[in-house]
Structure 1
């Protein structure tokens, strides 16, 4: 019995060892996958459960183009006077139209022409209306909110069906754009921005509000919603002409023959669309329910310029969905400007993902921006900044100083640039020059750089404290030597005073802790340096008149300075100046 137990234990050990070996080999053989920067960013995201995307087939339906073209063709070519073979009782139609008329501000009256259009829709477009009703389920709640806000009849929502077939990017052959088919001038009239990046006529919210405002203004003109519809299509001017030509009649059906051909079928098409929607079930038309409505999306303000491709990669939303939800952006890029906010629309659950990980998303956008090729001068500037940081680590700093060079006879920009070790392009930029022409006597600003040691604050303070602490033990000669060291340290600090103003405070604190004699010596050194700088600046402000100079030629030599400036600054009443005169060429006192 003991032998069996011993053998079982040995077999168990062997099996465990074999399993451990296989695990180790599997671990060794498994390749290590290197994550990309994007994957590493996304791995840190805070995620929520049930993050859903809009179904791809539904997306395709929402962005339809064929429905828009079909609706436009019907309005242009349908003939109200042509009988249509469809089984619809005229009696039933009259009763249904009367019911609609009773609850609508539109004049919904039976006519043979309206009957023919309704029959044509029911016979030729039943599947199209099923598709349109599904899309309506997405947009109509938002339409109704704005129609109610502006006290516009709810039936106006059907206007967007015949205008654009509910395609936010629909564009007519004459340039009308968006759900409500705004022309460019009308859109601008109602503050819909259109530029290289953005077309707000395609924004469902902004365009719907603009449409409500426009329709309200048309109603204030005509006081009749049928005429409002006609003027929305043909323009208020054409409707006014039709009223005059018809003998001052103001009922749409009485002026219809005097309207443009397209508008003659426009209002009947609107009323026929309303009928099909209201009595769809009676005719076996069953629109599918939308998987989501416009209210189940939300927006977030962006703080960087970003492309749809970047957003799709980060929050796992197809680019096609972003295009549909954000039709306002023409180049699939959301611009960023401090003056005007721009927004990204996403399903609400994806909005949660975006806002919860906003910092990581912007870090990735910045990373991608850094990888793009930049103009050489931007690259040089970034390298210069990086170089300055490296110098700062070594206790040094680059100090930029300005010099003024007066152009002499025979000078050119190339020689001057070689003399000071700068480029011709830099001289042009510093002096606002467009070409290569310079004149004798012209004063050019030249910027030079030098590397200096950065005085360490702690060392400066400690040095002064040591002076005070050891003064009693030192000989007079040693004290004087220490004082000179302190003066030298503070004089070096004064040389970089403009570039490093923070060190000035340390110098002043150091002076305050020294003895009275030392304070006076250091203060005198600082004042001397300041006076030298002021004298240099004063020289830059002044111009000595050369032979042949005039106020006009002097003004041209100093960008941004006019003849009137020179007269006022130098109290000159006429135009007369003489060689040797010193003129102020700056307004700063």
Structure 2
């Protein structure tokens, strides 16, 4: 009888061992992808981070769920530049996968690029776009940057640390420590690198271990995420100059809010009036429908046309419609601000509404007599915050400028 009982238990023990081996091998693969020694699995601070994240797993999985459309595209962009897939979790550590994430240090987007680094990697920041918030372009820029850091330091965990504290800071730390060994660099007493960076690499590894734990996912209510991230993706489409997002959303049966969420890099509800048009993102499952239905329209058929009357100027017209004078100038390809009587100007607000303005909930159009100080007091937001959100290098503002206040 006892012999029979043990014969029943053997498959259970074998199954448990197989599961353990599978999990352990997967964990070793993850560490190997970062060029980290297997002993790091027992790092107490990293394991504490992992346990705290698991204790609040809804927060982790909500971020994964919100980014389900982005994740396949991010992985594809990382692969393109031979960056390990686990660096997906660097974006999670940076921004929690929120494309609209913005720091008080002026970093923005999924990968939290500073303006200078963004421009170095050809991410456009202007009146119409902030491509640090473009999920694909910013990922490609991050992959290039990480590849260059890996080429410089030779190990992926060093590339991740340098991404956080800077290459110069890491080089000095390695020189001081006399080694690039992760266990020495992360020494809590010697403090070769800043505390933020010591915790940063541990956080990325912890998130990677959780995100790749299929057994954990299978036992949780989030099992569907295993397949969902592979089933959905983005498609890139090109729109004509100044095209309205609202028109595209109606054409494809996508809520405007969803379309804007996929295109947080656009500062307005229309694509920039660049002469060559502009690319945006839609769910891949809508691509065929777009190809069948979309035809570009002259922008005068989409937006309101204002006929210049006596006394009009760009500043006055801009205030009337809640649009920056620079936008009106760009949409109408004006080389000067001089207007002629009965001249027709395209104003990028819906054609059917004579009085509707662009949503100014989070924006402010500068008026005569305004200063950053007066705007700061009126809206209860610091001058530094206004300057940071609008990439202002000084306190100089002009009538008609459109300032972002609350995003």
The bucket for the TM-score relative to the shorter chain is: 0.5 to 0.7
Q: SS of the counterpart of 1:270?
A: helix
Q: Look up the match of 2:270.
A: 333
Is structure 2 residue 42 aligned with structure 1 residue 105?
Answer: no
Counterpart for residue 202 of structure 1: 133
Whole-angstrom distance in 2 between the partners of 1:153 and 1:95: 20
CA 1:276 to 1:102, structure 2 compared with 1: closer, same or farther past 3 Å? closer
Correspondence for 1:362 among 297, 315, 320: 297
Counterparts of 1:330-479 in structure 2 under 5 Å?
Answer: 330-338=267-275, 340-348=276-284, 350-359=286-295, 362=297, 365-369=299-303, 371-374=305-308, 377-381=339-343
Aligned equivalent of 2:208: 274
Structure 2 Cα separation of the partners of residues 239 and 356 of structure 1: 52
Indicate if the aligned counterparts of 1:179 and 1:202 stay in contact, CA closer than 8 A.
Answer: yes
Within-5 A mapping of 1:181-580: 181-246=112-177, 248-256=178-186, 257-279=191-213, 281-282=215-216, 284-287=219-222, 288-289=224-225, 296-338=233-275, 340-348=276-284, 350-359=286-295, 362=297, 365-369=299-303, 371-374=305-308, 377-381=339-343
Cα deviation, 1:129-174, whole Å, max 9, x if unaligned, reads 2223334543332222222221111211121111111111111221
Structure 2: distance between partners of 1:254 and 1:292 = 37
- Counterparts of 1:381 and 1:278 in 2: how far apart (Å)? 61
Q: Residues 285, 236 of structure 1: CA spacing in aligned structure 2 closer, same or farther, 3 A cutoff?
A: farther
Q: CA deviation at 1:379?
A: 4.9
Could you tell me which residue of structure 2 aligns to residue 472 of structure 1?
A: none
Query: Who is 1:560 aligned against?
Result: none
The CA deviation string for residues 487-542 of structure 1, in whole angstroms up to 9 with x for no partner, is: xxxxxxxxxxxxxxxxxxxxxxxxxxxxxxxxxxxxxxxxxxxxxxxxxxxxxxxx
The CA deviation string for residues 332-355 of structure 1, in whole angstroms up to 9 with x for no partner, is 2211222x4312322345444444
Structure scoring higher RCO (CA < 8 A, sep ≥ 6) equals 2
Q: Provide closer, same or farther for how the CA distance between residues 378 and 354 of structure 1 changes in structure 2, counting only shifts above 3 A.
A: farther
Structure 1 residue 194: Cα displacement: 0.5
Q: Retained in 2: the 8 A contact 1:118–1:272?
A: yes
Matched residue, 1:117: 49
Structure 1 residue 369, shift from structure 2 partner: 3.4
**Cα 1:307–1:201 shift into 2, 3 Å:** same
**Where in structure 1 are there 5+ consecutive unaligned residues?**
1-91, 383-589
Question: CA separation in 2, counterparts of 1:187 and 1:233?
Answer: 15
Partner of 2:63: 132
Query: TM-score scaled to structure 1, two decimals?
Result: 0.44
Unaligned runs of 5+ in 2: 1-18, 311-338, 345-407
Q: CA deviation at 1:122?
A: 1.6
Contact 1:158 1:274 (C-alpha < 8 Å) held by counterparts: yes
Larger radius of gyration: 1
Count residues in correspondence: 287
CA-CA distance at 1:302 after TM superposition: 1.9
- Tell me if the contact between 1:160 and 1:179 (Cα under 8 Å) persists in the aligned partners: yes
When residues 253 and 285 of structure 1 are mapped into structure 2, their CA distance, relative to the original with a 3 A threshold, is farther
Structure 1 residue 235 displacement after superposition = 0.8
Verify the 8 A CA contact 1:148 1:154 in the aligned structure 2. Answer: yes
CA distance in 1, matches of 2:292, 2:341: 34
Matched residues in 1 for 2:309 and 2:67: separation? 49
Residues 281 and 241 from structure 1, CA distance in 2 versus in 1: closer, same or farther, beyond 3 angstroms? Answer: same
Question: How far has the Cα of 1:299 moved from its partner?
Answer: 3.0
The 2-side partners of 1:93 and 1:136 are apart by 29
CA distance in structure 2 between the aligned counterparts of 1:264 and 1:94, rounded to whole angstroms: 29
Question: What displacement does 1:327 show?
Answer: 1.5
2: CA distance between counterparts of 1:291 and 1:97? 25
